[in-house]
């Protein structure tokens, strides 16, 4: 392996994201929609995007593992999950994050590609086909938007923070997710629910949002965005403040450690 095994992978991931985005754009007004489960939508665009992304990545790096939201490719090899020294690099892909927005003709959907290797996330690429915004990051090299360095906001007080959250597809009115939302609503400046985990994390990275929590997303929703946010300076933990695993991404992400702790205090508080 070369001394820089991830530079070529980053460029390939960008190319793969553009191929996936092209599939989404081509089907923007002519896609077919079905339900994987009640309220959990999938389109032929999701499937075509993942096929294009997978082909690009695996042709360039045939020894790498692949995890994608569609086509039953949801589980990483156990060696990857454990972070074994001999585990292959593993791509973690959401070919269309924000499917409901896409189906309804709303902005706020993206292609998301992360790479997990050597026991941690190594790079992330998120492309918003509607705006053309390309967010990228490599471990130890910062985060970028269309090639320009980005960083989180300097917000340190929960009362001044603009936050975003995600709910489960079939959230119940008496669920902890709803209780946490109501508790947080009374403590922060405002809360948004935008519909794309990947873009939410990018917006925290770019300083547009100050914090984001989610207990209902999957590794493919979050992987690329988590490293982009971390490389932009965000404090990234589990909701309770403990160490986060990308394979169980119940996370709390904020512009800094102080704000993240204030969010955690609210999220884990007893009613």
Domain spans in the chain, listed from the N-terminal domain onward = 7-150, 158-267
For domain 158-267, give its CATH number from 3.40.50.1820, 3.20.20.105, 3.40.1160.10, 3.40.190.80. Answer: 3.40.190.80
Q: How far apart are CA 98 and CA 108, in angstroms?
A: 6
Q: What HEC string does the chain produce?
A: CCCCCCHHHHHHHHHHHHHHHHHHHHCCCCCCEEEEECCEEEEHHHHHHHHHHHHHHHHHCCCCEEEECCCCCCCCCHHHHHCCCCCCCEEEEEEEECHHHHHCCCCCCEEEEEEEECCEEEEEEEECCCCCCEEEEECCCCEEECCEEECCCCCCCHHHCEEEEECCCCCCCCCHHHHHHHHHHCCCCEEECCCCHHHHHHHHHCCCCCEEEECCCCHHHHHHHHHHHHHCCCEEEECCCCCCECCECCEEEECCHHHHHHHHHHHCCCC
The answer to whether 201 and 212 are in contact (CB under 8 A) is: yes
Which residues share a beta bridge with 68? 93
Mean pLDDT for 74-91 is 89
The residue whose two tokens read 């007893």 is 270
> Mean pLDDT over residues 10-17, rounded?
98
Residue 86 CB: number of other CB atoms within 10 A? 5
Count other Cβ atoms within 10 Å, centred on residue 66. Answer: 18
Grade residue 2 by pLDDT with cuts at 50, 70 and 90.
low
Contact 191, 218 (CB under 8 A): no
| Residue for token pair 């001044």 | 160
Instruction: Tell me if 166 sits within 8 A of 198, measured CB to CB.
Output: no
- Note the Cα 67 to chain centre separation in Å: 14
The neighbour count for residue 269, using CB atoms within 10 Å, is: 11
- Tell me the pLDDT band of 43, cut-offs 50, 70 and 90: confident
214: which 2 tokens? 């989610």
With a cut of 90, say whether residue 1 has pLDDT above it. Answer: no
Q: Summarize pLDDT for 21-42 with one digit per residue, the tens.
A: 999 999 887 667 655 554 445 6
Mean pLDDT for the stretch of residues 50-54:
95
CATH class of residue range 7-150 = alpha beta
User: 204: exposed, middle or buried (C-beta count within 10 Å: 0-12, 13-18, 19+)?
Assistant: buried
d(CA 266, CA 271) in angstroms, rounded, equals 10
Split at pLDDT 50, 70, 90, the class of 76 is confident
Summarised one tens digit per residue, pLDDT across range 120-162 is: 999 999 999 999 999 999 999 999 999 999 999 999 999 999 9
Query: Hey, what are 15's tokens?
Result: 């190319």
CA distance 137 to 125: 7
């Amino acid at each position: 392996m070369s001394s820089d095994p991830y530079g070529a992978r980053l460029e390939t991931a960008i190319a793969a994201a553009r191929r996936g985005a092209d599939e989404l754009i081509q089907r923007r007004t002519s896609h077919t929609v079905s339900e994987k489960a009640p309220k959990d939508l999938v389109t032929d665009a999701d499937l075509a995007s993942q096929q294009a992304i997978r082909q690009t990545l695996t042709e360039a790096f045939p020894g790498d593992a692949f995890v994608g939201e569609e086509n039953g490719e949801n589980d990483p090899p156990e060696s990857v999950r454990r972070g074994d020294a001999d585990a292959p690099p593993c791509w973690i892909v959401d070919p269309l994050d924000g499917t409901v927005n896409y189906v309804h003709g709303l902005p706020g959907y993206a292609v998301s590609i992360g790479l997990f290797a050597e026991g941690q996330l190594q790079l992330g690429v998120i492309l918003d086909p509607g705006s053309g915004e390309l967010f990228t990051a490599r471990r130890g090299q910062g985060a970028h938007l269309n090639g320009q360095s980005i960083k989180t906001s300097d917000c340190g007080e929960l009362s001044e923070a603009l936050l975003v959250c995600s709910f489960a597809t079939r959230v119940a009115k008496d669920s902890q997710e709803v209780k946490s939302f109501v508790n947080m609503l009374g403590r922060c400046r405002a809360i948004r629910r935008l519909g794309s985990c990947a873009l939410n994390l990018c917006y925290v990275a770019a300083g547009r949002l100050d914090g984001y929590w989610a207990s209902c997303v999957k590794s493919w929703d979050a992987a690329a965005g988590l490293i982009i946010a971390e490389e932009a300076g965000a404090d990234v933990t589990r909701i309770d403040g403990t160490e986060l695993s990308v394979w169980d991404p119940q996370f709390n992400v904020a512009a800094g450690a102080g704000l993240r702790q204030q969010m955690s205090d609210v999220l884990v508080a007893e009613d």
